[in-house]
């Protein structure tokens, strides 16, 4: 039987397999991600769709007072070592636009060790083509690994100037502005809107039918910016599912490339 998020991740975590709780500066995001990782009742009432012969085998959408929390999980199309997958997610995200419909650009900003969270981090700038507009946001991803279970949690949240030094943020701002200014845009509906809320995670662990299972949760919100079009469009179930599938599939393609390169 193919393992699902409830049957795999939550069961393992309830047995203390997870190295520790997710720690974010975003308190709301931290609460949601830890709820997913430690409480199987989080998904009560969520819509669920099961899929065969796909890179993924289940998609869930949980409605909350702050909009949907979407999730996709699967084991890909072949065996990938968990370490390879987590390296791809953490270090190779700039390759995603080659394979991901809607990813206009992903630019590396910086990396290091976050003393507040206590984990290594990687900062990136995302430009997503949402058809009605371009959505942009800087993001920080953290990497937390349990060598005993081979489980890695790569949690991420929206990045702002408080995360880095003034000099680093000025450099980030210059890179982000240059990315937007130099990218080729559509003739119309080419407005640029910055997302207000960004958080989520990848969970990489040993699979059942294949070597690795990956679970991806991603939340993007527009509480203040973007107007009603952004708020409504970002919460349409069809849009959320399409984004999940595209991001998951692109990550598998990059992993496939990296596996071939390492042979």
Query: For position 5, what pLDDT does the model report?
Result: 39
Query: For position 240, what pLDDT does the model report?
Result: 84
pTM, rounded to two decimals? 0.88
The pLDDT tens digits of the residues spanning 111-126 come to 999 999 999 999 999 9
Work out the pLDDT band at 130, boundaries 50, 70, 90.
confident
Pairwise CA distance, residues 170 & 62, whole Å: 37
The pLDDT tens digits of the residues spanning 33-66 come to 999 988 888 999 999 999 999 999 999 999 888 7
Query: For position 66, what pLDDT does the model report?
Result: 79
Work out the pLDDT band at 102, boundaries 50, 70, 90.
confident
Secondary structure of residue 242 in the 3-state scheme = helix
Secondary structure of residue 52 in the 3-state scheme = coil
For the chain, domains (ranges, CATH) are 6-262 (3.30.530.20)
72 near 238, Cβ under 8 Å? no
Pairwise CA distance, residues 133 & 5, whole Å: 33
Is 146's pLDDT higher than 50?
yes
According to the 3-state scheme, what is the secondary structure of 25-40?
CCHHHHHHHHHHHHCH
Is 229's pLDDT higher than 70?
no
Backbone angles phi, psi at 98, to 5 degrees: -65, -25
Determine what percent of the chain is predicted with pLDDT higher than 90.
65
Query: For position 227, what pLDDT does the model report?
Result: 59
The pLDDT tens digits of the residues spanning 5-35 come to 334 333 333 333 444 589 999 999 999 999 9
Work out the pLDDT band at 232, boundaries 50, 70, 90.
low
Work out the pLDDT band at 2, boundaries 50, 70, 90.
very low
Residues paired with residue 197 on neighbouring β-strands, in sequence order: 221
Query: For position 88, what pLDDT does the model report?
Result: 94
Structure letter (DSSP) for residue 164: S
Question: Rounded to whole angstroms, what are the CA distances from 28 to 164, 192, 208, 246?
Answer: 21, 25, 32, 25
């Amino acid at each position: 039987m193919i393992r699902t998020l409830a049957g795999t991740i939550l069961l393992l975590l309830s047995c203390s397999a997870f190295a520790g709780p997710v720690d974010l500066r975003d308190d709301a995001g931290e609460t949601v991600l830890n709820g997913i990782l430690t409480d199987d009742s989080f998904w009560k009432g969520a819509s669920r769709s099961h899929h065969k012969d796909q890179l993924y085998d289940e998609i869930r959408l949980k409605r909350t007072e702050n909009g949907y929390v979407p999730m996709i999980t699967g084991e890909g199309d072949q065996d990938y070592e968990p370490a390879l997958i987590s390296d791809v997610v953490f270090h190779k995200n700039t390759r995603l636009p080659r394979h991901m419909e809607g990813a206009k650009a992903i630019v590396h900003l910086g990396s290091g060790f976050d003393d507040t969270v206590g984990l290594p981090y990687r900062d990136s700038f995302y430009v997503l083509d949402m058809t009605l507009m371009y959505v942009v946001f800087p993001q920080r991803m953290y990497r937390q690994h349990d060598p005993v279970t081979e489980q890695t949690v790569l949690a991420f949240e929206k990045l702002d100037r408080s995360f880095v030094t003034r000099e680093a943020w000025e450099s980030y701002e210059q890179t982000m502005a240059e990315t937007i200014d130099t990218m080729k845009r559509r003739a119309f509906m080419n407005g640029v809107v910055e997302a207000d809320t960004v958080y989520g995670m990848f969970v990489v662990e040993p699979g059942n039918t294949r070597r690795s299972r990956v679970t991806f949760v991603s939340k993007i919100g527009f509480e203040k910016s973007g107007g009603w079009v952004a708020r409504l469009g970002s919460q349409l179930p069809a849009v959320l599912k399409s984004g999940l599938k595209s991001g998951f599939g692109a990550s598998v393609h990059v992993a496939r490339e990296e596996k071939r390169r390492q042979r």
